[in-house]
Amino acid sequence: MTYGISFAQKLLDAGKYDDAAAEASKALAADPDDPEPFFERAQAYANLDRYVEAAADYEQALKLDEEARVLTTDFVDDAYFSALLGAARTQGEKWLDRYPEVLPKGRHLNDARDWKKRLRGEMPSHFVKERLQED
């Protein structure tokens, strides 16, 4: 790290997502108990549309951060929900069931429920847009 920013984060900022994922993986090999490389790799995976892998890394980052307390929880919450939504769009709504399991007091409990309905065609898309603007 240089000046508090990891090399993986610099690569993320530069839009070099494959390289950022590889660099975060190296950092994880050196310190598997640090939540930040899991978060950075999840960010890279999400930008590469690898949502299932991103969700798994966000979950691990959240778990490790219960003790470390270095991540901004609301930001991770938002990113995690987005990864689950990406996974649900490509692999089925069941992915949204993970959200309340992992974050039972999360900011997107209603969104997860509403998006499941939308993916099943039970809710018009304009309603979901209105709900997201309210939250």
- Concatenated DSSP letters of 2-27: BTTB-HHHHHHHTT-HHHHHHHHHHH
Computed over every residue of the chain, the mean pLDDT equals: 92
Q: Is residue 41 part of a domain?
A: yes
Query: Would you say residue 1 lies in a domain?
Result: no
- Would you say residue 17 lies in a domain? yes
Residue 132 has pLDDT above 80, yes or no: no
Number of domains making up the chain? 1
pLDDT tens profile 13-29: 999 999 999 999 999 99
Indicate whether 127 belongs to any domain: yes
Q: Residue 103 falls within a domain, yes or no?
A: yes
What is the CATH classification number for the domain harbouring 89? 1.25.40.10
Q: Which domain holds residue 14?
A: 7-134
- Dihedral, CA of residue 116, residue 118, residue 120 and residue 122, to nearest 10: 120
| 2 within some domain | no
Residue type, 55: A
Average of per-residue pLDDT across 78-85: 98
Q: Model's pTM, two decimal places? A: 0.88
Please list, in sequence order, all residues whose beta carbon lies within 8 angstroms of the beta carbon of residue 111, skipping any fewer than 6 positions away: 81, 131, 132, 135
Beta bridge partners of 5: 2
